[in-house]
Amino acid sequence: MVHQLDLIAAGSSGSGQLLEVTPLLGVLMAVLLAVAVAVAGRGQLGHGKAVLRAGLRAVVQLSAVALVITWVVHSLWLTALFVLLMFTVAVRTAGRRITDEPGWSWAWAALPIGGGVLPVLVLLLATGLLPGKGITIVPVAGILIGGGLTATSLAGRRALDELTQRHGEVEAALALGFEDRDARLEICRTAAATSLVPALDQTRTVGLVTLPGAFVGMLLGGASPVQAGAVQLFVLVALLAVEAVAIVAVLELVGRGLVRRPVHWRG
């Protein structure tokens, strides 16, 4: 697997293409976004505007990234700054998704995301499995940070939702002599743990239900199926590690009361 991660980014420069980039592709994307907005808005989901904003933001952000990524990846300093930007956005997104507590309480999300992602990246770079090049660091860091973001957001929301809905049980545990931390964890641990289910399902069904981006990108870039499969397997296992660490860290923050909901949430 040494240096095979170079091939993750090679799909875009290889002869193969997953989709033909034509005006028709843009039209179809607009139609699909309109369908998503209509269904999410009228299907009693209440997220029509959120879907529209997310789609438009994706267009703007990917356009901007496409313009800067080609020169960012040629400098390790710029690569480091770009990864830091990704991390910062992930922390703010996850933190705001978890709690509406005023101030900087959302910044606690840096611990679960960073605690999962940083050791994996350091290990990859230290062992030489991940070449010290921007073209490989950026996509791998993005995959890991994205996994940490998802796990942190889901675990935090589910833990705090559980504490809000079962506040009486927390009080009962305290009355039985539990410490504050232990009482909270006793109630919210199971709900937060379900945040690992999407990663587990993705790993269990890989190759049977989905063909992940790293796998497809490497094949399009000219890698053999064995090489592509080995790297994709590593990515999935790394994501499991990142997300498991993130969930445990979020639980600890919630248990200690460092991440919480404003008083009005608790009625």
Q: What is the arithmetic mean of pLDDT over 122-140?
A: 87
CA distances from 87 to 5, 136, 259 (A): 21, 16, 19
What one-letter code names the amino acid at 80? A
* Rounded Cα distance, 231 and 5, in Å: 7
pLDDT at site 139: 87
pLDDT digits (tens, 9 = 90+) for 197-248: 988 998 888 877 777 766 777 777 777 788 878 888 888 899 999 999 999 9
- Residue 266 pLDDT > 50: no
Q: Which residues lie closer than 8 Å to 174 by C-beta, 6 or more apart?
A: 180, 183
Confidence (pLDDT) at 20: 74
Residue 206 bridge partners (DSSP): 210
Q: Is 9's pLDDT higher than 70?
A: no
Each residue's pLDDT tens digit, 81-114: 999 999 999 999 999 888 877 667 788 999 999 9
Contact 231, 133 (CB under 8 A): no
- Mean pLDDT in the chain? 83
Residue 114 tokens, joined: 């960073």
| Whether residue 2 has pLDDT greater than 60 | no
Q: Supply the pLDDT for residue 170.
A: 86
Q: Determine the pLDDT at residue 84.
A: 95
pLDDT value for 18: 59
- Domain residue ranges in the chain: 4-18+72-266
pLDDT of amino acid 8: 47
Is-contact 162 122, C-beta < 8 A? no
Task: Give the range among 152-161, 166-175, 209-218 with minimum mean pLDDT.
Answer: 209-218
pTM over 0.85: no
Q: How many residues can be counted in the chain?
A: 267
Mean pLDDT of 142-164: 93
pLDDT at 267 over 50: no
Mean pLDDT across 248-254: 94
